[in-house]
Homo-oligomer: A and B are copies of this chain.
Amino acid sequence: MFDAAPAFSPSATRARPFSSVPAQGRLDALLSGPVTSFAVGAEIYAEGDKAGALYQVAFGIVRIYRLLADGRRQICAFQMPGEIFGFESDGERHFFADAVADTGLRTVRMASAADLSGELLNLALRGLSRAHDHMLTLSRLGACSRVAAFLLEMAERQESEESGVIDLPMSRADMADYLGLTIETVSRVMTKLKDAKIIRLPTYRHIDVLDWDGLREMAE
């Protein structure tokens, strides 16, 4: 039931893959249903909603976030194709979820999930592990490291190492709210990476990585 993960040395801490969720036996069977579409910006659920379902991303990308009273936003996670989200510890949503790009989702009703606690536990523990990684990033890394780590994370999730191209499906504002920075700071770091010849920016949303080692160094 427990699957293997890469060895966990302190230095490898933030290099951990954000790999898509592995095959989950019975869960997968329940997730083979129809795909519901969401347009850019469409809300999937909101804080306070009754939690009725789990979702698996078929295509597109979803942001999971919370809001502070004054409007500040913390994006807890981006969900990419194959990944499952929507667990709650009680029957209520504690987050907002909406589509960053045009997105398709498969659904499992909670009722069907009653006897899947083994599979769900595994998913929850992985989520916990990621949350802790992200906590480390937010609390202990400078702006450059955060952005570089984010780019590496996206690269890994897209298997970009070969092509050298990273696709950014989200805006600078989304990046900033995920990394706990302002859009200006994110932008400045991007420019800095560009000036250092570590990346090129053919468009705002496409990155050519020229120097992976340089990027990795930056992420410390």
Query: Which A positions have Cβ atoms within 8 angstroms of B?
Result: 2-5, 7-11, 13-20, 47-48, 66-70, 72, 74, 76, 87-95, 110, 113-114, 117-118, 120-122, 124-129, 131-132, 134-136, 138-140, 179-180, 220
**Nearest opposing residue in chain B for A89, CB measure:** B125
Asked if A139 and B91 make an inter-chain contact with CB atoms under 8 angstroms apart, the answer reads: no
Partner of A94, one of B8, B47, B113, B127: B8
CB distance from A35 to the nearest CB of B (A): 24
Asked if B124 and A90 make an inter-chain contact with CB atoms under 8 angstroms apart, the answer reads: no
Task: For the complex, give the distance between the alpha carbons of A90 and B14 in Å.
Answer: 5
**Residues of chain B within 8 A of A15, CB atoms compared:** 90
CB distance from A124 to the nearest CB of B (A): 4
Other A-B contacts than A5-B89, A124-B124, A131-B132, 19 sampled, CB-CB below 8 A, are A2-B90, A3-B90, A5-B90, A8-B66, A10-B67, A10-B68, A11-B92, A13-B66, A15-B90, A18-B114, A19-B114, A68-B140, A72-B140, A89-B126, A117-B120, A121-B124, A131-B135, A134-B135, A138-B180
Partner of A135, one of B76, B88, B92, B93: B76
Interface centre among A47, A95, A140, by most B CB within 10 Å?
Answer: A140
**Assuming the A-B contacts A18-B114, A125-B124, A180-B140, are A7 and B131 also in contact, with contact meaning beta carbons closer than 8 angstroms in the complex?**
no
